[in-house]
Chain A
């Protein structure tokens, strides 16, 4: 990944872009979602994207609640459907920057159909999928990305289902930009989100986030500091060539920009009708 020229964290004050009246926020201590949100806001700031022209569409779950804190045009829609709503909004208003914040359950389970077709269509928007391996909002049920053998309230004997690799899925479905990053490295994550925002077409970023209070506690993964450090071992940035064995995930996940294709944005492919006028037999 190219290293973007950094604006120092000191110059960027996230509070300038948040709805402070919506605080205190509802996230649990140690939740990774706040860091994902910070990376997004920082990337928006760096790219000089006006909050007036930003539309954030979120689904249901912990990630879905993030929109309320962003001082932009925010839409908290139905479970699994933010990509469908965002498709309509982006097509009706190509002048807006459309960002979708979704999550492993919202995007890969109930909303899986919308993800694959959004990847295929390539409507200009950025999809951030916050993956914390669990349905946190509803109390900790298994999700399509819960690692093998992990305990959740609906896998009392440990998870026996295979894990969905969202980035492989997105790439296979034709997404023109696919990336993955962890919340441990906010500046690196910010750079990836920034690239996704600038991409003309559908960009998909999986953000590995931690659910400390529910998933971490249930699986005795340690405190939030321990959990976030384990992200390092669970992932394989470009600079890490070797396989790192870790109990968090059996195989380290690659991070950074994982796929990129130059193909026309949805609107560029629209063609006028060739059919005859109304009537006729």
Chain B
């Protein structure tokens, strides 16, 4: 993996290779279209690096096994799609509450319910943020190309280990199954984030104590700390509590640790936003269509720009406001009935019109459709 190799590979394959490059050594999953290739590559490649692959009896069990492996110190991942993502939600909340690092890949398909298993969709934007119950921290990344699936999967592990939070990588069937020519750069070992493990004085250690970065060190079984881990609201020692002050601070810290580091987590790309009259907001495969649309429109003299979030949650708020600063309006383009648009409308309230372009028919929104929508929105 140390040599850069030019190859044509699929998004799902790049995802698995990125995970292994990031240090993932445990995978538990359950077959589901259109994500199954991630599991297939992991099954073949993980044993080569002394990793462990297991196909569990269901989606819930695979999420549980991933968290269990992470308890033990392994960087661990699972991959799924809509229906399976729904089933994983309870355990995802447990990982958020117990601050157990893990990475979940969601290759989105048409929904709701069984929907269109072989067709792309972007309908899980809100589920990725709010799918599990309660106020919880989560990070959601949205790569837009095969090479970015690789690099964002690596970043997902780094963020998950650094902030002890579940990280979701959200892309759609089109990118999952798309083959692109890529040169995969294996990250240098020193560039990978490793979990902060408890060490030193046994008695002073607080598994959920306040630290400057709000991310406490984790106790690794076998290291002598014998910590207690529970999804119940817990105090700094990890024991259940219903003391209002302690409970309040415990949940607040979980949310604050992401807010505090949001500038390290937020990632985005802009194209021609500086002088844009209209800024298109799109992610994933739709952002690729928008990229072409912007070039077409610019050739016609229409001043269009593109803001593409690579991090959906926490949303790169400040960057969007700056990118849209001079624009008269925004156009949010997504393959759902309008989910990210809700966030954009909230952020840009009072700053100009927020238009929407949506498809929920399992078809990717084409560049020409986006260009037409811009022409209509910005006469």
Contacts and interface: CB of A to CB of B under 8 A. Distances in A.
A275 B219 CA distance: 38
B60 A81 contact: yes
A278 interface: yes
B105 to A, nearest CB: 17
Contacts of B69: 88-89, 91-92
A122 B325 CA distance: 60
B68 A96 contact: no
Interface string B1-30: 000000111000100000000000110100
Interface string A235-256: 0000000000000000000000
B76 A68 contact: no
B14 to A, nearest CB: 10
B228 A87 contact: no
Contacts of B41: 278
Contact of A78 (B26, B43, B44, B90): B90
Interface in A82-98: 84-93, 95-96
**Which of B64, B66, B225, B227 has most chain A Cβ within 10 Å?**
B64
Contacts of A116: 57
B94 interface: yes
A44 to B, nearest CB: 13
B260 interface: no
Nearest to B44: A273
Interface residues of B, number: 51
Contact of A273 (B43, B76, B227): B43
A214 interface: no
A175 interface: no
B60 A84 contact: yes
B297 interface: no
Given A84-B61, A273-B43, A275-B44, A52 B71 contact: no
Interface stretch (B117-125, B150-158, B229-237): B229-237
B24 to A, nearest CB: 11
Contacts of B61: 81, 84, 87, 113-114, 117
Contact of A92 (B26, B219, B239): B26
A85 B61 CA distance: 7
Nearest to B93: A78
Contact of A67 (B25, B57, B228): B228
A270 B232 contact: no
A25 interface: no
B180 interface: no
A122 to B, nearest CB: 13
A88 B57 contact: no
B185 interface: no
A87 B29 CA distance: 13
A88 B231 contact: no
Nearest to A117: B57
Interface in A42-58: 51-53, 55, 57
A188 to B, nearest CB: 29
A87 B54 contact: yes
B72 interface: yes
**Which of A88, A89, A117 has most chain B Cβ within 10 Å?**
A88
B94 A77 contact: yes
A74 B228 contact: yes
A273 B63 CA distance: 24
Given A85-B68, A85-B71, A89-B68, A68 B240 contact: yes
Nearest to B224: A52
Contact of B73 (A21, A51, A87, A93): A93
A25 to B, nearest CB: 12
B144 to A, nearest CB: 22
**Which of A22, A53, A76, A116 has most chain B Cβ within 10 Å?**
A76
Contacts of B28: 87-88
Given A71-B226, A76-B232, A273-B47, A117 B71 contact: no
Contacts of A91: 26, 52, 54, 65, 69
**Which of A81, A85, A90 has most chain B Cβ within 10 Å?**
A85
B146 interface: no
Given A114-B61, A273-B44, A278 B9 contact: yes
A57 B231 contact: no
Nearest to A19: B228
19 contacts: A55-B221, A68-B230, A68-B240, A73-B225, A74-B227, A75-B71, A75-B229, A75-B230, A76-B229, A76-B232, A81-B91, A85-B68, A87-B56, A88-B67, A93-B74, A96-B222, A113-B58, A278-B7, A278-B41
Interface of A: 19, 21-22, 51-53, 55, 57, 67-68, 71-78, 81, 84-93, 95-96, 113-114, 116-117, 270, 272-273, 275, 278-279
Closest 3 CB pairs of A and B: A88-B68, A84-B64, A88-B65
